Amino acid sequence: MTACRRSLYFVAPHRVAVREEPLSPPAAGEVVVETVVSAISPGTEMLVYRGRVPADMPLDSTIPALAEAFAFPLKYGYAAVGRITTLGAGVGREWLGELVMGFHPHESHFLTRPAELVLVPAGLSPEAAAFLPNVETAVTFLMDGQPIVGEHVAVFGQGVVGLLTTALLARIPLSDLVTLDRHSLRRGRSLDLGAHQAVDPAAAGELERLRSSFDLTYELSGSPAVLDEAIAVTGFDGRVVIGSWYGDRPAHLRLGGSFHRSRMCLISSQVSTIAPRFAGRWSQARRREVAWRMLAEIDPARLITHRFPVSRADEAYDLLDRCPQEAVQVMLTY
């Protein structure tokens, strides 16, 4: 009998489908991973779900499973955790049964090489391990922003990555750590993680009250319009770290006013690379080691608000698309 797997496909804007398809036996040097859980990244995956990814760029050229250009139908996702169930020729027996995390799309089983997997440290649950990509992103944001003791820091956007960034920033003795998000659920979670204030940016007068107040601002909302707000609340010689991916949506900025004389620094930050200023001492392995340690200390599994079996993935994406105020981290189970 031919083995099968269930694979999630993005088939058109606002449409996903789970398809059963054959699973080939592992070739030499390959393994089969049986997925236990995979995390939906509500920022990046919503761009794919809504069809807002530029058609002329690969989804992620640094991840083999995501290296093709964006076009429906496609598989996507990059936080699958499971156990190795089958070994191809030449793979050491020590891999059998290991719990691993793969930067791989959502599907019940997948083929890959051990070098493309990350061993999950002992004591971590599969659900906690599924946060690794986003925790590593948050570590990157702190490396690129370089927060200093006593600074005033703002974080726009308290989705999963924003909350994890807030949790890491809260470990530094800052004078002020302010988060901004439209959804009360997320604002509450940010306070739980150590923010000093959690602000609704749509509330009358709040953004004006915060104007030019911060040494360091993170724009993690995913909304191009918010970048202008992040610039407005950042002070002279401040830094704005842009961690959002806007897809094909342009950001319209008002740079003709105070920005022109502000000597402000706008920093593009993304986890697939390490900033050149760190490259002499930092490798991706070193950064990942830090991410695992932070993951264990933060306990991000408490951010999970919903779990859906992969057969109901359409409900999961519809929830994140239409009711983002009700969800933080959504997990698919297998």
Domain ranges for the chain, please list them: 4-130+301-333, 134-276
Region 131-143: mean pLDDT is 98
Residues 6 or more apart whose CB falls under 8 angstroms from that of 86 comprise 25, 26, 31, 32
Region 273-292: mean pLDDT is 96
Find residue 9's DSSP bridge partners: 17
SS (H, E, C) 256-308: CCHHHHCCCEEEECCCCCCCHHHCCCCCHHHHHHHHHHHHHHHCHHHHEEEEE
| pLDDT at residue 58 tops 60 | yes
What's residue 324's pLDDT? Answer: 95
Residues 6 or more apart whose CB falls under 8 angstroms from that of 62 comprise 272, 273
| Domain covering 4-130+301-333 assigned CATH 3.40.50.300 in the classification | no
| Run of H or E residues at 133 | helix 132-145
Question: What are the tens digits of pLDDT across the range 66-111?
Answer: 667 789 999 999 999 999 999 999 999 999 999 999 999 999 999 9
| Fold classified for 134-276 | Rossmann fold (3.40.50)
Task: With cut-offs at 50, 70 and 90, classify the pLDDT of residue 169.
Answer: very high
Domains 4-130+301-333 and 134-276 share a fold: no
Q: Supply the pTM of this predicted model.
A: 0.94
